[in-house]
């Protein structure tokens, strides 16, 4: 059984446990997410990719599926201020959202896998009596290569 099948199976369990079915459409949507784990796809992106192998799917279904998966904490819905929500498979081993480095020039986006915030979360708890359940940390700035003017993309801010 491939890694992909394995992951799919695991998610299937989660869906079933909550009384949801893994329909063909949902499976296709998940597959796209699994095959693009590194990207931060918008709903439209996902829609286009699913359509390639399953042209009958409707945009609304993609939206609904992404919302469902977000509720189940299988994907992470995020927002980089460009007016579209982006979705990302949530790694089980990763309790929180990844941190991001976003190039201010070309929009290239890099994930930091480690969790750098445990200490600050304890501090928030101590100083504000606030129990953190999730967090978000994005840095905007310039990569060395981008400040050297080697940015590939002009301004289309496609997350990848």
Partner DNA sequence: ATTAAGATGATAATGATTATAAATTGAGAA
Partner DNA sequence: TTCTCAATTTATAATCATTATCATCTTAAT
Q: Footprint of DNA on this chain (CB under 7 A)?
A: 19-21, 23-26, 42-44, 56-61, 63-65, 67, 83-85
**β pairing state of 41-42 and 75-79:** unpaired
Quick one: residue 149, left, alpha or beta (phi over 0 = left, psi -120 to 50 = alpha)?
left
* Phi, psi of 41, deg, nearest 5: -85, 145
Name the residue nearer to a second copy (CB basis): 11 or 108.
108
The only residue of 6, 23, 122, 140 in contact with a second copy, by rule CB under 8 A? 140
φ/ψ (deg, to 5) at 29: -65, -45
Helix (H, G, I), strand (E, B) or coil at 104: coil
132 is a site residue for a second copy (CB under 8 A):
yes
Residue number with CB closer to DNA (59 or 117): 59
Task: Using the minimum distance from each CB to DNA, give the nearer residue, 65 or 89.
Answer: 65
Per the annotation, binding residues for Zn(2+) are 103, 106, 146
């Amino acid at each position: 059984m491939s890694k992909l099948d394995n992951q799919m199976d695991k998610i299937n369990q989660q869906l079933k446990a909550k009384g949801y079915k893994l329909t063909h459409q949902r499976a296709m949507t998940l597959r796209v997410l699994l095959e693009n784990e590194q990207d931060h796809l918008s709903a439209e992106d996902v829609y286009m990719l699913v359509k390639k192998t399953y042209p009958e799917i409707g945009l609304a279904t993609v939206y609904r599926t992404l919302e469902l998966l977000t509720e189940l904490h299988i994907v992470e819905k995020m927002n980089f201020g460009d007016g579209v929500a982006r979705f990302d498979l949530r790694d089980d081993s990763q309790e929180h959202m990844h941190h991001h480095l976003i190039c201010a020039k070309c929009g290239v986006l890099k994930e930091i896998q480690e969790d750098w915030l445990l200490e600050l979360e304890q501090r928030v708890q101590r100083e504000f009596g606030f129990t953190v359940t999730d967090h978000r940390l994005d840095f905007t700035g310039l990569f060395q290569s981008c400040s050297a003017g080697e940015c590939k993309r002009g301004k289309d801010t496609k997350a990848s």
